[in-house]
Amino acid sequence: MSEPSVPAPASPAGFRVAREIPVGRHPLLAVFPGLDHLPPAVRLEPDAARRTRLFDETCVEVVDQDLWMYVAPWAEPKGARRQWRPVIAPGRDCIVVGAGHLRESPEIVLFMDVYHELCHVVQRRDGANLWEPGVSYVERWTEIEAYRFVVREARDLGVDDRFLRDYLKVEWISDAEHKALLGQVGVSVR
């Protein structure tokens, strides 16, 4: 996600980040303690048993790279950009996060990012292809659904559209794609 140029609103009560956790693979709840007890956790996965598995079985790999967050693919995605060398985690639900992002980004951004990626974990567990070849990033139903989820959560916290516009301006999409994404997730263009 792009670094918002408007002041970052507060993250929700109870959201915590272990910012100094070392590079490497860790349980999700070691990096984001209590994440499973926040209201979005129930909205994301209403079934208690599935929710417990989601939070207990998902890990976070902190990498010493300049990047945001993504769900590690089980195999290298077809058509992946050549300059992108993703962490591959065969059969494992793993969220990859850049160490700088984890240590320096506003908590609200990390809150939105981790729930966005958890949406993708749930989608993949339900059979979705997160890297559907030939489909634009801003047209993938998996991305739209995950962004809609975090936009709703952010709005419940009082986050305004100026911040959301900046949050949704990711570096790998054009201005036209950004505008399309805003429309897809219900954030005003201006």
Q: Is 178 a domain residue? A: yes
Q: Can you list the residues of the chain whose pLDDT is less than 50?
A: 1-4
Q: Is 1 a domain residue? A: no
pLDDT for 23-74, tens place per residue? Answer: 999 999 999 999 999 999 999 999 999 999 999 999 999 999 988 999 999 9
SS3 assignment, position 164: helix
Instruction: Determine the pLDDT at residue 2.
Output: 47
Q: Is 11 a domain residue? A: no
Amino acid occupying residue 73 = P
Report d(CA 30, CA 28) in Å as an integer: 5
Instruction: Determine the pLDDT at residue 81.
Output: 60
Cβ–Cβ under 8 Å, residues 72 and 95: yes
Report d(CA 95, CA 87) in Å as an integer: 9
Q: Is 41 a domain residue? A: yes
Q: Is 17 a domain residue? A: no
Task: Give the residue numbers spanning the domain of 157.
Answer: 24-185
Q: Is 3 a domain residue? A: no
CA angle 143, 185, 145 (to 5 degrees): 35
Number of compact structural domains in the chain: 1
pTM for the predicted model, two decimal places: 0.92
Q: Is 19 a domain residue? A: no
Q: What's the full length of the chain, in residues? A: 190
Q: Is 74 a domain residue? A: yes
Instruction: Name the residue among 111, 120, 96 with its Cα closest to residue 151.
Output: 111
